[in-house]
Amino acid sequence: MWSEAVAVAAGLAGASAGPGVAVCAAQGGPRVVNARLLALLGLQAFPPRATRLPELLEAAGLRRSEGDLWVSETRAVRAGEETLEDGSRLLWVLPAAPEEEGRLARVRYLSLASHDLRGALANIRSYAGLLLGGRYTHEPRVQRGLETIRRNADRALGFAQNFFDSSRAELGGLSFEREQLPLAPLLAEALKPQQEEAATAGVELSLAPVPELPELSLDGGRVQHAVEAFIAHHLTRAQAGERIEVRALRDVAGVRVEVRRHGVPGEPALTGRLFERELRAFEEKKLEDPLRLSLARHEVALHGGEVGAWSDAGGTTLFLTLPFQDQ
């Protein structure tokens, strides 16, 4: 069995150095593990509860990028799982191509740049907040100036986070951590940052009753950001008296979250390319909204879901889907 497993893995991966392999019984854990598999994954021992390939790689801190490529900020491997004739399963792992190492280096470089830029902006925001605290009094013009500094620092921090996350996502290096979470609280939190802006614009922002749902395997921050991006997009186009509604719908495969602006519909041509970052940025001479929606698309894709949009006579809807389990 061992020689057959190695031969199959080497043939599948096309490796001259040989893969790291494990063979799992049809109804149990690994029967055979070679040291190379553990070394490639950076593990000291085989995780006892990891009986499937995704469980093994996630235990090693890796996430799927595309196809059989799995990555973290410091490691990239090719991995696969095949069923053998006796019903056991072969897990194989190989180091990724050299160009993947260059890609990981670019991800680390972006992380350093993000840290430095966000640190400086956070200091500006912190000092503006300190001066606006109750210990100090300012003449009205100075007060307005400090409020503008704080507001613009918050906006710049958000933009910088979206820019670097979007760039990392394009390289397959977007951080992503799942846990079992209820969806309803995430949707409620997504509305909070936008409520003041919506009220100022005369736009009603509401969450429809969420149906009873099982907990989902989610990165809560990523899902919340995607919904916030949809709401922010609608707010940039909403007119006074319109209504933005967030609702969740259950279907056989998972959950569909819709963010609908009830009012003047968007242009069909724009609706069809909402998630095309560069095209929209060049056309509109603005990057903020295209960046948010592009990042939202990546965040949803990491969950195995999809995004989309449509317009009709009653308004415009952006939606995302979340499968009950990783598809």
The 10s digit of each residue's pLDDT in 152-188 is 999 899 889 889 998 888 887 788 888 999 999 999 9
Tokens found for residue 195: 């409520």
Q: Are residues 37 and 80 in the same domain?
A: yes
pLDDT at 28: 65
Which of 43-57, 97-111, 224-238 is the most confident on average?
224-238
Sign of CA dihedral 26, 30, 32, 36: positive
Q: Are residues 36 and 8 in the same domain?
A: yes
The 10s digit of each residue's pLDDT in 246-270 is 999 998 889 999 999 999 998 887 8
Q: Are residues 290 and 218 in the same domain?
A: yes
Mean pLDDT of 222-242: 95
Q: Are residues 92 and 108 in the same domain?
A: no
Domain of 84, in residue numbers: 2-96
Which own/partner contact pairs does 85-90 have at CB distance under 8 Å and 24+ positions apart? 86/1, 86/26, 87/26, 88/1, 88/23, 88/24, 88/25, 88/26, 88/31, 89/23, 89/24, 89/26, 89/52, 90/5, 90/8, 90/9, 90/21, 90/22, 90/23
Final residue before a domain boundary, out of 47, 74, 96: 96
Tell whether the model's pLDDT for residue 240 goes beyond 50.
Answer: yes
Final residue before a domain boundary, out of 170, 198, 216: 170
Query: Distance between CA atoms of 307 and 258, rounded to whole angstroms?
Result: 10
Q: Are residues 147 and 17 in the same domain?
A: no
Q: Are residues 207 and 233 in the same domain?
A: yes
- Return the CATH number at 236: 3.30.565.10
Look over the chain and give the mean of its residue pLDDT values, rounded to a whole number: 86
pLDDT at 78: 87
Final residue before a domain boundary, out of 96, 123, 147: 96
Query: In degrees rounded to 5, what are phi and psi of residue 266?
Result: -75, 165
Q: Are residues 160 and 187 in the same domain?
A: no
Q: Are residues 183 and 319 in the same domain?
A: yes
Percent of the chain with pLDDT over 90: 44
Q: Are residues 73 and 91 in the same domain?
A: yes
Q: Are residues 206 and 303 in the same domain?
A: yes
Helix, strand, or coil (residue 312)? strand
Q: Are residues 147 and 22 in the same domain?
A: no
Q: How many domains would you assign to the chain?
A: 3
- Return the CATH number at 85: 3.30.450
Q: Are residues 70 and 134 in the same domain?
A: no
Tokens found for residue 270: 């724009």
